[in-house]
């Protein structure tokens, strides 16, 4: 982890964020739509994009807290998290596991790592500097 002043807080928020993503992934889609068919048809088209965007954002969150030499660990860890989501979805009867979702997760992770390596990495240090100057 980078030498963050509020490293404990960043870790707590990270755990909350991962828990939130897991809960959303396990939530029945019909909670948002009364018509199950329309809910599933919409999700069928947008599901891969949602996975990719979610894992891009998760990756960007973590590249803000860790140095570039740890990026491969972030990638492997988030890919494992994607597998855990699919295993959990397989265990409930109202969701379906799809290994193509893990592929979309991987694409999101790669995009997030590229953006992090291009200059967004370490953003947490910059955020802390701005907050402490106030």
Is 122 a member of any domain? yes
Is 1 a member of any domain? no
Query: Which residues, given as ranges, of the chain have pLDDT below 50?
Result: none
Is 124 a member of any domain? yes
Is 115 a member of any domain? yes
Q: Report the pLDDT value the prediction gives residue 29, as an integer from 0 to 100.
A: 66
Is 119 a member of any domain? yes
Q: Report the pLDDT value the prediction gives residue 117, as an integer from 0 to 100.
A: 97
Q: Report the pLDDT value the prediction gives residue 94, as an integer from 0 to 100.
A: 83
Q: Report the pLDDT value the prediction gives residue 44, as an integer from 0 to 100.
A: 61
Q: Report the pLDDT value the prediction gives residue 83, as an integer from 0 to 100.
A: 97
Is 2 a member of any domain? no
Q: Report the pLDDT value the prediction gives residue 73, as an integer from 0 to 100.
A: 98
Domain containing 63 equals: 7-133
* Domains contained in the chain, number: 1
Per-residue tokens: 75: 């990638």
DSSP output for the chain? ----TTHHHHHHHHHHHHHHHHHHHHS-GGGT-S-HHHHHHHHHHHHHHHHHHHHHHHHHHHHTTS-GGGHHHHHHHHHHHHHHHHHHHHHSTTS---HHHHHHHHHHHHHHHHHIIIIITTHHHHHHHHHHH-
């Amino acid at each position: 982890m980078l030498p963050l002043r509020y490293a404990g807080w960043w870790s707590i928020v990270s755990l909350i964020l991962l828990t939130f993503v897991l809960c959303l992934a396990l939530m029945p889609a019909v909670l948002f739509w009364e018509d199950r068919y329309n809910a599933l048809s919409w999700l069928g088209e947008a599901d891969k994009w949602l996975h990719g965007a979610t894992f891009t954002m998760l990756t960007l969150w973590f590249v803000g807290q860790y140095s570039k030499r740890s990026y491969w660990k972030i990638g492997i860890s988030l890919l494992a998290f994607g597998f855990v989501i699919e295993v959990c979805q397989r265990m409930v009867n109202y969701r379906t596991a799809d290994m193509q979702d893990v592929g979309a997760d991987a694409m999101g992770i790669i995009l997030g790592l590229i953006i992090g390596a291009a200059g967004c990495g370490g953003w947490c240090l910059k955020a802390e500097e701005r907050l402490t100057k106030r």
